[in-house]
Amino acid sequence: MLATLRVRDLVLIEDVELEFTPGLNVLTGETGAGKSILLDALGLAAGARAGARSSVRPDAQQGSASAIFELPRKHAVRALIVENGIPSESEVLLRRTIAVDGRTRGFVNDETVGVGLLREIGTSLVEIHGQADDRGLFDNSTHRKLLDAFGRNEVAAAKTAELFAEYGRLRDHAASLRAMAETAATDTAYLRHTVDELEVLSPNAGEEERLASERALLMNASRISEEISAAIDILGGDHGAESALAAALKRLSRLQEEARQPSAERGLEQAFAFAEEARRELEALLSRLDVDAGELDKKEERLFALRAAARKYSVAADDLPCVLADAQQKLDTLGNSGLALKEADAQTAAAHASFLNAAGRLSILRRKAAQELESAVAGELVPLKLDNAKFRVSLEPLAKEEAGANGLERVAFEVATMADAPFGALTKIASGGELARFSLALKVALSEASPPAALVFDEVDRGVGGAVADAVGERLQRLARTTQVLLVTHAPQVAARAERHFRIAREGDRTEVQLLSAEERIEELARMLSGAAVTEEARAAARRLLAEAQSPPSARKRA
Q: What is the pLDDT of residues 211-264, one digit of tens each?
A: 888 787 777 766 777 778 888 888 887 778 888 888 888 888 777 676 677 888
- Kind and range of the H or E run holding 107: strand 104-108
Residue 443 phi, psi (nearest 5): -65, -35
pLDDT classification of 552: cutoffs 50, 70, 90: low
Question: pTM surpassing 0.75?
Answer: no
Residue closest to 408 by CA, chosen among 355, 350, 370? 355
Q: Supply angle C-alpha 545, 548, 552, rounded to 5.
A: 155
Tell me if 446 sits within 8 A of 373, measured CB to CB. Answer: yes
Tell me if 457 sits within 8 A of 465, measured CB to CB. Answer: no
3-state secondary structure of 7: strand
Residue closest to 137 by CA, chosen among 479, 363, 414? 414
Angstrom distance (rounded) from CA 52 to CA 37: 10
Q: What is the average per-residue pLDDT within 442-459?
A: 81
Alpha-carbon torsion, ordered 437, 439, 440, 446, to 10 deg: 150
Q: What is the DSSP string of 454-514?
A: EEEEESTTTT--HHHHHHHHHHHHHHTTTSEEEEE---HHHHTT-SEEEEEEEETTEEEEE
Instruction: Of 35-44, 493-502, 542-551, give the lowest mean pLDDT range.
Output: 542-551
Q: What is the pLDDT of residues 277-289, one digit of tens each?
A: 888 888 887 777 6
Q: How many CB atoms lie within 10 A of CB 122?
A: 27
Contact residues for 334 (Cβ-Cβ < 8 A; gap 6+): 180, 184, 187, 188, 191
Terminal CA-to-CA distance of the chain, rounded, Å?
A: 34
Domain ranges of the chain: 185-335
211 beta partners: none
Q: How deeply is 167 buried, as exposed, middle or buried, from its count of CB atoms within 10 A (0-12, 13-18, 19+)?
A: buried
Q: What is the pLDDT of residues 137-182, one digit of tens each?
A: 667 888 999 899 999 999 999 999 999 999 999 999 999 888 877 7
Angstrom distance (rounded) from CA 86 to CA 77: 11
Alpha helices in 237-319 (DSSP H): 241-253, 262-289, 294-312
3-state secondary structure of 30: coil
pLDDT classification of 559: cutoffs 50, 70, 90: very low
Amino acid at 313: Y
Q: What percent of the chain has pLDDT over 70?
A: 91
Tell me if 341 sits within 8 A of 174, measured CB to CB. Answer: yes
Residue closest to 33 by CA, chosen among 58, 13, 50, 62? 13
- Kind and range of the H or E run holding 222: helix 221-236
